[in-house]
Structure 1
């Protein structure tokens, strides 16, 4: 009998939609020309890239010349921070970010510190929200950039992006946001939200891996990140990933067109998961803001349980989940995000992230909770800490 598979790790990656694959396939075989060449099949590919750029620009209310294709979110984050640091160093060497950013931001900031830049890592509240008064107080005359993620990849908290951008602009500071998890999950208007640069990734929205884009507002003076050819208007060298670009645009078009209906259904399933877990599994804590939360994110910490053991047992039931970011899944350290919101190590180690899609049904959600209850109970029965806790609290 084939094992049931319920995929609940969509924050890590998503399957490519059939319509996206269909759009991409001709560019692997028939339409394989290099867009920089002058013959007709290359010219057609150049136009296809132009059309894709227009599609994507509309999804965030900008113009096509502000969209730069990259290899994904990590490259976009690196480009935004390193190129800003290089271009604006004469103004100052101070950058503000938060303690809960993706490691593509945090590790880049650590690198910039070795180059003489000073980084302020803001605390967040118990739900993972940036404190706007502390952000404002951290701005200095030599501050050149604020980088705050749109929504956290682990706990799903959505930050007050428009307000952060407004504060940045009032102080003459550039504002970058890592929107890898938020893009097409929540409406994004880079003009209304005061965003100067924004990172995204195709494989989080049912597009292919190895493609993303960096939005750069016109007038932001950052230069090339990859040197070589004249691609991407002299700002990002390398033969264009035409198939990836086509796939990204198609995925973005589909996800944007059905965003309202799709996310409404995701919220129903998300809230059902949260309500059942809170009601039926004792000593479980929801991580992240209950309301200002991505439609597809559920993150709990279970006391007296070790996260990796939960994942292994869930996998034996055909359930794919995560204990945090996929980029740090090999680490034995507790999540830096959970520590930043105030969880002690022993509770942070017992975290579980479920990230759903429009393919997850209420029946699937119930299957997950039913199995999760059994798994948590089983692991707690093996825990001497839980046994001692029960004895003390009888």
Structure 2
């Protein structure tokens, strides 16, 4: 079995979530139907809504079910922008952190291209934390033309936890709504929608041990959103579409389990994360940790996130060598048509393109153990040496890179060592 160190991308479904999923998959009934099967499905949905609300510190009426984090982010950003612009056409400026996930970044760029939005990308420091000073400057320059602010709760690549409470306080002084992509944070670190003061917040099931294909948007009860799709009027007429009863039940089971075990699991992952960071730095002294870090703490960095740049090699090359050695990780960078590109997050943090190309993210989750860290460290030196032989392969396709790597050096011997 491979060593899985890509939990930030998706994490294995938990036993409680799988049990709930399979139980309700075998039952029929549309939650919008009025007959017995429909009413039973509706009860499951509403009980699940309550569990997710409790896990996220919200009222049950503030939960809008979606197909996942991407849809939730699209609904929030577009819905807030259209509603604010309809109330006042001057509100066209969107203040957005420069390290957002593409689900937010691309949505904002689409609004600029098609709906006349003006984007202000808020800078971040060298650790990936958004500048509160820059946000304050942009708001006070002209608060009347700001449609919304969007700052993620925690960054998916370098794990930086953002100062959400400060962001909300600044924006709300001028009546400006704030959205946060909390997909990486929810169920991993303490997240309380009510305490945060956020207007909208996106979460996803498959990041916390639920199934792929279901998520939610937390929407404050006084918040006005323009729907992005229309139909049967489900979910407060904000998100029409037949609800996925089985997926929602599994999502709720995963959320409830994560909330009950959050502190214990976060502390376990922090200890494991810190040991991984130390082990990688001993094995590869040239490796540079990216993102904030205070050992033993998850207030500034996600507990399961360890992100490095490895000088002299392409991140994709290192990924392929590690994969062949039985360790699955991620570069965190965008890859279009087989051409690796440097991460916009790392570039926003001030790295050069060459530095950003050497990125590798190791992310831990509920199935991770110390043996996973040992397996990584056993194969990493050989993998790094082989990836460096392949060089900065930005001008060859990932398929060609993989072929080059597979023929380089002593990878096969390294793989066998890691399999012990």
Does the C-alpha gap of structure 1 residues 327 and 85 become closer, same or farther in structure 2, counting only changes over 3 Å? Answer: farther
Q: CA deviation at 1:225?
A: 2.2
Cα shift at 1:33 = 0.6
Quote the offset at 1:349 in angstroms.
Answer: 0.8
Displaced runs of 4+ in structure 1, greater than 4 A? 325-331, 381-385
Q: Which moved more, 1:119-128 or 1:321-330?
A: 321-330
Change in CA separation of 1:46 and 1:328 when aligned onto 2, cut-off 3 Å: farther
Does structure 1 residue 248 correspond to structure 2 residue 244? Answer: no
RMSD over aligned Cα atoms: 1.7
**1:392 match:** none
- The 5 Å alignment of 1:241-320 reads 241-291=244-294, 292-320=300-328
- Closer/same/farther in 2, CA of residues 232 and 330 from structure 1, 3 Å limit: farther
Evaluate the alpha carbon distance shift between residue 200 and residue 384 of structure 1 in structure 2; reply closer, same or farther with a 3 A threshold.
Answer: closer
3-state SS in 1 of match to 2:21: helix
Q: Is the 8 A contact 1:265 1:358 kept in 2?
A: no
Q: Which runs of 5+ in 2 are unaligned?
A: 295-299, 394-420
Task: Summarize the alignment of residues 1-394 of structure 1 with structure 2, pairs less than 5 Å apart.
Answer: 4-29=1-26, 31-89=27-85, 90-91=87-88, 92-114=91-113, 115-139=115-139, 140=142, 141-291=144-294, 292-324=300-332, 330-380=338-388, 383=391
Report how far residue 327 of structure 1 moved: 8.1
Secondary structure of 1:206's match? Answer: coil
Q: Could you tell me how far apart the structure 2 residues matched to 1:384 and 1:88 are?
A: 46
Q: 2: distance between equivalents of 1:273 and 1:189?
A: 29
8 Å CA contact retained: 2:335, 2:341? no
- Aligned counterpart, 1:388: none
Offset of 1:329 from its aligned partner? 9.6
- SS of 1:359's partner is coil
Taking the aligned partners of 2:316 and 2:119, their CA distance within structure 1 comes to 33
Task: Using the TM superposition, give the Cα deviation of residue 250 of structure 1 relative to its aligned residue in structure 2, in angstroms.
Answer: 0.5
Measured against aligned partners, the alpha-carbon deviations of 1:176-205 in whole angstroms (never above 9, x if no partner) come to 000000001111112221211000111111
Q: Partner of 1:27: helix, strand, or coil?
A: helix
Q: 1:66·1:215 contact (CA, 8 Å) conserved in 2?
A: yes
Distance in 1 between residues matched to 2:37 and 2:282, nearest whole Å: 60
| Alpha-carbon distance in 2 for matches of 1:309, 1:77 | 31
* TM-score relative to the length of structure 1: 0.93
Inter-partner Cα distance in structure 2 for 1:323 and 1:200 = 22
Instruction: Indicate the SS of the match to 2:195.
Output: coil
Number of residue pairs matched?
381
Secondary structure, aligned partner of 1:191: helix
Contact 2:334–2:343 under 8 Å retained in 1: no
Q: Is the 8 A contact 1:11 1:204 kept in 2?
A: yes
CA distance in 1, matches of 2:207, 2:131: 28
* Counterparts of 1:208 and 1:384, CA distance in 2: 37
Counterpart secondary structure, 1:234: coil
CA 1:217 to 1:325, structure 2 compared with 1: closer, same or farther past 3 Å? farther
1:50-100 C-alpha deviation (Å, 9 max, x unpaired): 100110111122111000000001101110111111111033111100111
Assess if the C-alpha contact under 8 Å between 2:187 and 2:262 holds in 1.
Answer: yes
Q: Distance in 2 between matches of 1:170 and 1:117?
A: 22
1:332-382 Cα offsets, whole Å, 9 max, x none, are 111111111111111111110011113221122021012112211333356
CA distance in 2, matches of 1:224, 1:337: 30
| TM-score under structure 2 length normalisation | 0.88
Distance in 2, matches of 1:33 and 1:247, equals 16
| 1:167, distance to aligned residue in structure 2 (A) | 0.9
Partner of 1:182, secondary structure, is coil
SS of corresponding position for 2:6: coil
Deviation per CA, 1:274-318: give whole Å up to 9, x if none: 112223312211111113100000100000111111111111121
For residues 315 and 174 of structure 2, the distance between their equivalents in structure 1, rounded to whole angstroms, comes to 43
**Which range is displaced more, 280-289 or 66-75?**
280-289
Q: Which is further off, 243-252 or 85-94?
A: 85-94
Q: Do the aligned partners of residues 49 and 296 (structure 1) sit closer, same or farther apart at CA in structure 2, a change above 3 Å counting? A: same
Q: Which residue of 1 aligns with 2:406?
A: none
